[in-house]
Amino acid sequence: DSGVTQTPKHLITATGQRVTLRCSPRSGDLSVYWYQQSLDQGLQFLIQYYNGEERAKGNILERFSAQQFPDLHSELNLSSLELGDSALYFCASSVGGAGNTGELFFGEGSRLTVL
Question: What are the residues binding other proteins (CB under 8 A)?
Answer: 2, 4, 33, 35, 40-45, 48, 50, 55-56, 58, 90, 92, 97-109
Using the minimum distance from each CB to other proteins, give the nearer residue, 5 or 65: 5
> Nearer to other proteins by C-beta: 79 or 108?
108
Question: Widest CA span of the chain, in angstroms?
Answer: 43
To the nearest whole angstrom, how small is the minimum distance from the Cβ of residue 69 to other proteins?
A: 20
Give 85 or 107: the residue with its C-beta nearer to other proteins: 107
CB of 26 to other proteins, least distance (A): 12
Q: Is 97 left (phi over 0), alpha (psi -120 to 50) or beta?
A: left
β 19-24/64-68 pair status = unpaired
Dist. CA 79–CA 15, nearest whole Å: 9
Q: Is 68 exposed, middle or buried (0-12, 13-18, 19+ CB in 10 A)?
A: buried
> Shortest gap between Cβ of 111 and other proteins (angstroms)?
9
Query: Shortest gap between Cβ of 16 and other proteins (angstroms)?
Result: 28
